[in-house]
């Protein structure tokens, strides 16, 4: 994370976006507090137009704080970076949780509490830019690839020693399935073997 260590001016407008699966929670504020009512907007990129209408009434410097949650934030982050180059600040969920704790609500996670935490972080001048996201993703991809290689190597090393045991277990199960089942001559059972007449119950001999 790039630590700018320069607190924002009170006039700076901060947009806090807590991404969700269906809706994104949005706060718009400055140093004096909220300048718009908190809203939930659909995650579709086209719905950013509604946010732009909200921001049109507030000039000055703009900082957009977004929680980087997997792939949920990417559509909005990419489009907002295009509309407002250099304004994006990304924060990991762990950073948001830490900020909630500092604000006294670490145990209680809600969209509005996350937006408050994102606003708090952004006003301190911290966060990483959208341009750094690609480098972070490349590092994550490299880590995932290495984990896959380690898992494949472990499987390859264990496979030869595990195969005989699996084969023995399979043979045992197969033998159990193929073993003949003893037949008992219960009372009234009809026997068709050579020692008795066809259809004559044992109980009648």
The tens-digit pLDDT sequence of the chain (205 residues) is: 444 467 899 999 999 999 999 999 999 999 999 999 999 999 887 889 999 999 998 988 999 999 998 788 888 998 999 999 999 999 999 999 999 999 988 788 899 999 999 999 999 999 988 766 655 555 656 676 677 778 777 777 776 554 555 555 555 554 555 555 555 444 444 444 544 444 444 445 4
Residue 55 CA to residue 115 CA, distance in Å, equals 17
Cα 161 off chain centre by? 35
Residue 20 CA to residue 193 CA, distance in Å, equals 74
Q: Please check whether residue 113 is in contact with residue 105, taking contact to mean a CB–CB distance below 8 angstroms.
A: yes
Contacts of 36 (CB under 8 A, 6+ apart): 27, 28, 54
Residue 1 CA to residue 4 CA, distance in Å, equals 9
């Amino acid at each position: 994370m790039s630590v700018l260590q320069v607190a924002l001016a009170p006039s700076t407008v901060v947009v806090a976006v807590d991404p969700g699966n269906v809706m994104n929670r949005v706060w718009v504020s400055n140093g004096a507090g909220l300048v718009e009512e908190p809203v939930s907007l659909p995650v579709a990129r086209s719905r950013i137009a509604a946010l732009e209408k909200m921001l049109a009434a507030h000039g000055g410097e703009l900082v957009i704080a977004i929680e980087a949650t997997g792939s949920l934030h990417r559509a909005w982050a990419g489009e907002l970076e295009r509309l407002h180059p250099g304004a994006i600040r990304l924060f990991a969920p762990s950073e948001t949780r830490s900020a909630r704790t500092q604000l006294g609500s670490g145990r209680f996670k809600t969209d509005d509490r996350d937006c408050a935490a994102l606003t708090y972080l952004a006003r301190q001048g911290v966060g990483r830019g959208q341009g750094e996201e690609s480098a972070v993703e490349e590092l994550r991809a490299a880590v995932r690839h290495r984990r896959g290689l380690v898992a494949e190597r472990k499987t390859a090393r264990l496979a030869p020693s595990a195969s005989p045991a699996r084969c023995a277990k399979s043979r045992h199960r197969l033998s159990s399935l193929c073993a003949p089942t003893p037949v008992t001559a219960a009372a009234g059972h009809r026997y068709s073997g050579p020692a008795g007449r066809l259809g004559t119950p044992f109980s009648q001999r």
